[in-house]
Copies of this chain bind each other. A is one copy, B any other.
Amino acid sequence: MQHGGDVYTEGILKGKELIDFSSNINPLGVPKGFIDNLNEGILNITRYPDLQYRQLRADLKEYINNVEILFGDGDRSLELVHEEDFILGNGAAEIIDLTISSFKSIMIITPSFGEYYESAEKWGVDIVCVSLNEDMEYDYEAIAKNLHSVEAIIIGNPNNPNGGIIDKEKFLPIIERCEKEGKKIIIDEAFVEFTGKHKDSFIYQLKDYKSLFIIRAITKFYAMPGIRFGYGISSDGEFIDKLKEKQNPWNINAFAELAVKYVLKDRNYINKSIKWIKVEREYLKGELKKLDIIEKVFDTHGNYILCKLKNIDCDRLYEYSLERGIVIRKCNNYIGLNKSYVRFAIKDRLNNDKLLQVLKKINI
């Protein structure tokens, strides 16, 4: 299993401070609502969680149905989802693995999050890869053309490592076809809050299409990868139940429950995060474009930027940055990418500038 720059091997376990540009986490840090209510968490850990996680489901429903209020676009509470539409995971990793393992064949868009492939291989699921086009955009024609050979498709919105999102208009015919043919579309929206436009999400389409299954997490936008919480949403109750049967009891820990309860309603945090990402995404994209070692900066709606290098490969840039206290993400282990590709997380201005300073000074 390969994942980004290993900040433990190079940093923490050696007692070295590193700035981690390999992991895409909101730099605003743990939302205050979580820290303020830690005592409730401590009380809760001395008992088993609710086997049915009733409070947790209610909190998630509130979050999704109040998306427009929370993300500052009106005061309408919507009826997009019900409590029974959710399946809860010990991180999105569990949900990805559960869904993929339930099919005989799956289409994976490449490059994308390595766990899709790992999981499919692990469970002997046949894999059909469909590449992004050269601008790292979805190739809807190729997707449609290959649909006949799979039971399901998994697709990022935004995609990792490039940050491209799904064009709803172009994708809708594919959904319609899957709906008719009983295929499933797994949309990984782990980073969707960063787009800043909640209409980019397919939560609005869930009610109308049983074929849709959305994966979300509090990992990235709410800066809590260590808390381990992700979830799936679908209006296909039978499918949700089928997946649940394979889960272990009490798979969500009490602190993850606490986080969901207090963090997902933190309008102040959401507001500040959206303001930050809109400014810094444009800033870092613009500055990276000016660098001698960058051949291309790919368009992104996430909190990370994929770049094609020139005159240097990712191994050298990785070592060079590491010596200067910065961990970047080499992308050569993404299917379809080679040593010319790296990904940078978007951080706060101070750290973005530190990265830029390091990258500017490199001698090619």
The reply to whether A91 and B47 contact each other, CB–CB distance below 8 Å, is no
* Chain B residues whose CB sits within 8 angstroms of the CB of A256 once the complex forms: 253
* Chain B residues whose CB sits within 8 angstroms of the CB of A335 once the complex forms: none
**Are A20 and B8 also in contact (CB < 8 A) when A248-B91, A253-B227 are?**
no
* Chain B residues whose CB sits within 8 angstroms of the CB of A127 once the complex forms: none
Q: Does A76 contact B (CB under 8 A)?
A: no
Residue from B35, B245, B250 in contact with A228 in the complex, judged by beta carbons closer than 8 Å: B250
The reply to whether A227 and B90 contact each other, CB–CB distance below 8 Å, is no
Q: What is the 8 Å Cβ interface bit string for chain A, positions 233-260, against chain B (1 contact, 0 not)?
A: 0000000000001101111111110000
Q: Does A225 contact B (CB under 8 A)?
A: yes
Stretch at the interface among A48-56, A77-85, A102-110, A273-281: A48-56
Closest residue to A6 on the B side, CB-wise?
B51
Q: Does A44 contact B (CB under 8 A)?
A: yes
Q: Does A190 contact B (CB under 8 A)?
A: no
Residue from B30, B46, B226, B251 in contact with A48 in the complex, judged by beta carbons closer than 8 Å: B226
Number of this chain's copies in the complex: 2
Q: Does A25 contact B (CB under 8 A)?
A: yes
The reply to whether A228 and B251 contact each other, CB–CB distance below 8 Å, is yes
The reply to whether A93 and B249 contact each other, CB–CB distance below 8 Å, is yes
Q: Does A45 contact B (CB under 8 A)?
A: yes
Complex: A3 Cα to B52 Cα, angstroms: 12
* Chain B residues whose CB sits within 8 angstroms of the CB of A48 once the complex forms: 3, 23, 225-226
CB of A1 to closest CB in B, whole Å: 6
CB contact list, A1-54 vs B, under 8 A:
1, 3, 6-8, 12-13, 20, 23, 25, 29-30, 35, 38, 41-42, 44-52, 54
* Chain B residues whose CB sits within 8 angstroms of the CB of A35 once the complex forms: 42
Complex: A97 Cα to B247 Cα, angstroms: 9
Q: Does A151 contact B (CB under 8 A)?
A: no
Q: Does A115 contact B (CB under 8 A)?
A: yes
The reply to whether B225 and A3 contact each other, CB–CB distance below 8 Å, is no
**Are A20 and B47 also in contact (CB < 8 A) when A91-B248, A250-B91, A254-B227 are?**
yes
* Chain B residues whose CB sits within 8 angstroms of the CB of A248 once the complex forms: 90-91, 93-94, 97
* Chain B residues whose CB sits within 8 angstroms of the CB of A246 once the complex forms: 122
Q: Does A224 contact B (CB under 8 A)?
A: yes
Question: What would 22 A/B residue contacts be, using CB atoms closer than 8 Å?
Answer: A3-B249, A23-B47, A30-B46, A38-B38, A41-B226, A45-B223, A45-B224, A46-B223, A46-B224, A46-B225, A48-B225, A48-B226, A49-B226, A90-B90, A93-B249, A93-B250, A115-B249, A122-B245, A226-B253, A226-B254, A227-B253, A228-B253
> Which of A's residues lie within 8 Å of B, judged by CB?
1, 3, 6-8, 12-13, 20, 23, 25, 29-30, 35, 38, 41-42, 44-52, 54-55, 90-91, 93-94, 97, 115, 122, 223-228, 245-246, 248-256
